[in-house]
């Protein structure tokens, strides 16, 4: 896999927002901002999945999956 190109940014963020986000991620500034951007980027995929809810038919039932994993 090719290495992603990086961009250096200078951004203004409210201190309390950054502090709360870092407290949640337990990481530094760069990983915290990166995680937030990843969540935002994934939002479109989640929206697409939500729109498909109830429209996809599966051939397996919960019980048949359970029997495959835990035979009685």
Q: How much is the pLDDT for 34?
A: 94
- pTM higher than the cut 0.75: no
| Rounded-to-integer distance, Cα 20 and Cα 23, Å | 5
| Rounded-to-integer distance, Cα 24 and Cα 34, Å | 13
What b/e readout covers 5-38, taking b as 16+ CB neighbours within 10 angstroms? eeeeeeeeeeeeeeeebeeeeeeeeeebbeebee
| Rounded-to-integer distance, Cα 63 and Cα 60, Å | 8
18-64 pLDDT, tens per residue? 999 999 999 999 999 999 999 998 998 888 888 888 887 767 777 77
For residue 11, the SS3 value is coil
């Amino acid at each position: 896999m090719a290495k992603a190109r990086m961009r250096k940014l200078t951004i203004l963020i409210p201190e309390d927002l950054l502090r709360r986000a870092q407290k949640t991620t337990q990481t530094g500034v760069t990983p915290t901002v990166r995680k937030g951007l990843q969540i935002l980027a994934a939002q479109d995929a989640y929206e697409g999945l939500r729109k498909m809810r109830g429209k996809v038919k599966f051939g397996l039932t919960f019980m048949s999956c359970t029997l495959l994993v835990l035979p009685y």
